[in-house]
Chain A
Amino acid sequence: MKIKNLTILSVALATLFACNKPQDEPAFPNQADYKGTVTVEATSGTFDNEDIRVNFEASEDGTTATLTIYQIRFVPTMPVTIDVTIPNVQLSQNGSVLSCEQVVPLAMGGEFPRYTVTNLTGKREGNELSFSLNFGSTPTSFKGVLTVFEQD
Chain B
Amino acid sequence: MAIFAGEMLVSVFLTLVVTAGLDTTLTASHVTALKEAVPTTRLATASSTVQLRTLQSAGAYRPQHLSALIPSLHIPEYGASLTSTIYLRGLGSRMENPVMGLYVDGIPVIDKNAYDFDWEAVRCATLLRGPQGTLYGRNAMGGVLALQTLSPASGEKPLFYMEFGSANTLRTGGSFTRGNHAFAASFRHTDGFFPNAAKGQNPCDPYDGFQAHWKWEKSKNNLALSNIFRLGLSQEGGFAYGLYENGTQYPVSYNDEGSYKRLSVLEGIRIKHSGAKYIVEGTASLQALADDMHMDQDYTAKDIFTLQQKQLSGAATAEILLRKANRTDSWQPTTGLFGFYRLNHLLAPVTFKREGIQTLILDNANKNIPDDIGYLDIPDQTMPVNSEFIIGSWNVALFHESVYRTGAWILTAGLRLDYEGARMDYDCLAQLHYRFDPTMQSAKPFEVPYRGTRNHGRVQLLPKISALYEASQTLKIYGTVARGYRSGGFNTQIFSDILQNQTMNAVMKDLGVYLDRPMTSVNAGHTEYDPEQAWNFEAGARLRRGQVKADAALYWLEVENQQLTTFPPGKSTGRMMTNAGHSRSLGAELEAQWNPGEWQLSAAYAYCDARFTRYNDGNNDYALKRIPYIPAHTLYAGAGYNWKIKEATLKLHASLRGTGPFYWNEDNTRREPFALRVDARIGLSFPRFELYLRGENLTDTRSNVFYFKSVGNEFFAAGKPLALYTGITFKL
Q: Is B440's CB under 8 angstroms from A109's CB?
A: yes
Q: Is A79's CB under 8 angstroms from B512's CB?
A: no
Return A91 CB to nearest CB of chain B, in Å: 24
Q: A79-B515, A80-B516, A81-B514 are in contact. Are A108 and B370 (CB under 8 A)?
A: no
Q: Is A80's CB under 8 angstroms from B515's CB?
A: yes
Residue of B whose beta carbon sits closest to that of A68? B512
Return A110 CB to nearest CB of chain B, in Å: 4
Measured in the bound complex, the distance between the Cα atoms of B439 and A84 in whole Å is 12
Q: Is A110's CB under 8 angstroms from B439's CB?
A: yes
Return B655 CB to nearest CB of chain A, in Å: 61
Q: Is B373's CB under 8 angstroms from A110's CB?
A: no
Which residues on B sit within 8 Å (CB–CB) of A70?
512
Q: Among the interface residues A83, A109, A110, A114, which one has the most CB atoms of the partner chain B within 10 A?
A: A109
Measured in the bound complex, the distance between the Cα atoms of B42 and A33 in whole Å is 80
Return B86 CB to nearest CB of chain A, in Å: 46
Q: Is A82's CB under 8 angstroms from B514's CB?
A: yes
Residue of A whose beta carbon sits closest to that of B368? A79
Which residues on B sit within 8 Å (CB–CB) of A106?
439
Q: Mark A80-100, 1 if CB is under 8 A from B, else 0.
A: 111110000000000000000
Measured in the bound complex, the distance between the Cα atoms of B374 and A109 in whole Å is 11
**CB < 8 Å neighbour of A80 from B368, B435, B441, B444:** B368
Give the residues from 431 to 482 in chain B that come closer than 8 angstroms, CB to CB, to chain A. 435-436, 439-441, 444
Residue of A whose beta carbon sits closest to that of B370? A78
Return B506 CB to nearest CB of chain A, in Å: 13
Q: A108-B374, A109-B444, A114-B372 are in contact. Are A80 and B439 (CB under 8 A)?
A: no
Q: Is B370's CB under 8 angstroms from A107's CB?
A: no
Which residues on B sit within 8 Å (CB–CB) of A131?
none
Residue B369, interface by CB 8 Å = yes
Q: Is B516's CB under 8 angstroms from A108's CB?
A: no
Return A67 CB to nearest CB of chain B, in Å: 14
**CB < 8 Å neighbour of A108 from B436, B441, B517:** B436
Q: Mark A92-123, 1 if CB is under 8 A from B, else 0.
A: 00000000000000111111101000000000
Measured in the bound complex, the distance between the Cα atoms of B373 and A114 in whole Å is 9
Give the residues from 493 to 525 in chain B that come closer than 8 angstroms, CB to CB, to chain A. 510-517
Which residues on B sit within 8 Å (CB–CB) of A79?
368-370, 515-517
Measured in the bound complex, the distance between the Cα atoms of B509 and A83 in whole Å is 9
Residue A71, interface by CB 8 Å = yes
Q: A78-B370, A82-B373 are in contact. Are A108 and B515 (CB under 8 A)?
A: no
Q: Is A80's CB under 8 angstroms from B436's CB?
A: no
Residue of B whose beta carbon sits closest to that of A81? B514
Q: Is A107's CB under 8 angstroms from B440's CB?
A: no
Measured in the bound complex, the distance between the Cα atoms of B368 and A106 in whole Å is 20
Q: A80-B368, A80-B369 are in contact. Are A110 and B512 (CB under 8 A)?
A: no
Q: Mark A38-82, 1 if CB is under 8 A from B, else 0.
A: 000000000000000000000000000000001100000011111
**CB < 8 Å neighbour of A110 from B372, B436, B514, B517:** B436
Residue of B whose beta carbon sits closest to that of A111? B439
Measured in the bound complex, the distance between the Cα atoms of B437 and A111 in whole Å is 11
Interface size on A, residues (CB 8 A): 17
Q: Is A108's CB under 8 angstroms from B440's CB?
A: yes
Measured in the bound complex, the distance between the Cα atoms of B94 and A111 in whole Å is 51
Measured in the bound complex, the distance between the Cα atoms of B660 and A94 in whole Å is 84
Residue of A whose beta carbon sits closest to that of B367? A79
Which residues on A sit within 8 Å (CB–CB) of B435?
109
Q: Is B513's CB under 8 angstroms from A80's CB?
A: yes
Q: Is A108's CB under 8 angstroms from B514's CB?
A: no
Which residues on A sit within 8 Å (CB–CB) of B514?
71, 80-82
Q: Is B439's CB under 8 angstroms from A83's CB?
A: no
Measured in the bound complex, the distance between the Cα atoms of B514 and A84 in whole Å is 12
Q: Is A112's CB under 8 angstroms from B512's CB?
A: no
Q: Mark B248-282, 1 if CB is under 8 A from A, else 0.
A: 00000000000000000000000000000000000
Residue of B whose beta carbon sits closest to that of A113? B438
Q: Is A80's CB under 8 angstroms from B372's CB?
A: no
Return A112 CB to nearest CB of chain B, in Å: 5
Return A113 CB to nearest CB of chain B, in Å: 8
Q: Is B513's CB under 8 angstroms from A82's CB?
A: yes
Measured in the bound complex, the distance between the Cα atoms of B369 and A152 in whole Å is 40
Measured in the bound complex, the distance between the Cα atoms of B437 and A114 in whole Å is 12
Which residues on B sit within 8 Å (CB–CB) of A107?
439, 512
Give the residues from 510 to 567 in chain B that come closer than 8 angstroms, CB to CB, to chain A. 510-517
Measured in the bound complex, the distance between the Cα atoms of B436 and A83 in whole Å is 14
Q: Is B441's CB under 8 angstroms from A83's CB?
A: no
Q: A80-B373, A82-B373 are in contact. Are A108 and B512 (CB under 8 A)?
A: yes
Measured in the bound complex, the distance between the Cα atoms of B368 and A83 in whole Å is 16
Measured in the bound complex, the distance between the Cα atoms of B511 and A58 in whole Å is 23
Measured in the bound complex, the distance between the Cα atoms of B631 and A33 in whole Å is 64
Measured in the bound complex, the distance between the Cα atoms of B370 and A114 in whole Å is 14
Q: A79-B368, A80-B368, A80-B370 are in contact. Are A110 and B440 (CB under 8 A)?
A: yes
Q: A71-B514, A80-B516 are in contact. Are A108 and B444 (CB under 8 A)?
A: no
Residue of A whose beta carbon sits closest to that of B517? A79
Measured in the bound complex, the distance between the Cα atoms of B511 and A82 in whole Å is 8
Which residues on A sit within 8 Å (CB–CB) of B369?
79-80
Q: Is B439's CB under 8 angstroms from A109's CB?
A: yes
Q: Is A82's CB under 8 angstroms from B512's CB?
A: yes
Which residues on A sit within 8 Å (CB–CB) of B515?
79-80
Measured in the bound complex, the distance between the Cα atoms of B511 and A84 in whole Å is 10
Q: Mark B366-405, 1 if CB is under 8 A from A, else 0.
A: 0011101110000000000000000000000000000000
Which residues on B sit within 8 Å (CB–CB) of A84?
512
Measured in the bound complex, the distance between the Cα atoms of B516 and A83 in whole Å is 14
Measured in the bound complex, the distance between the Cα atoms of B370 and A88 in whole Å is 28
Measured in the bound complex, the distance between the Cα atoms of B376 and A108 in whole Å is 10
Residue of A whose beta carbon sits closest to that of B512? A83
Measured in the bound complex, the distance between the Cα atoms of B512 and A82 in whole Å is 5
Return B508 CB to nearest CB of chain A, in Å: 8
Residue of A whose beta carbon sits closest to that of B509? A83
Which residues on A sit within 8 Å (CB–CB) of B439?
106-112
Q: Mark B417-441, 1 if CB is under 8 A from A, else 0.
A: 0000000000000000001100111
Q: Is B368's CB under 8 angstroms from A108's CB?
A: no
Q: Is A108's CB under 8 angstroms from B372's CB?
A: no
Return A125 CB to nearest CB of chain B, in Å: 28
Return A51 CB to nearest CB of chain B, in Å: 14
What are 11 A-B pairs with beta-carbon distances under 8 A? A79-B368, A79-B515, A79-B517, A80-B368, A81-B513, A81-B516, A109-B439, A109-B440, A109-B444, A110-B441, A112-B439
List 4 additional contacts besides A108-B374, A108-B513, A111-B439; criterion CB under 8 Å. A78-B370, A81-B514, A83-B513, A108-B511
Where the two chains meet, the residues of B that have a C-beta atom closer than 8 Å to any C-beta of A are: 368-370, 372-374, 435-436, 439-441, 444, 510-517
Where the two chains meet, the residues of A that have a C-beta atom closer than 8 Å to any C-beta of B are: 70-71, 78-84, 106-112, 114
Shortest Cβ-Cβ A-B pairs, 3 listed: A83-B512, A110-B439, A109-B440
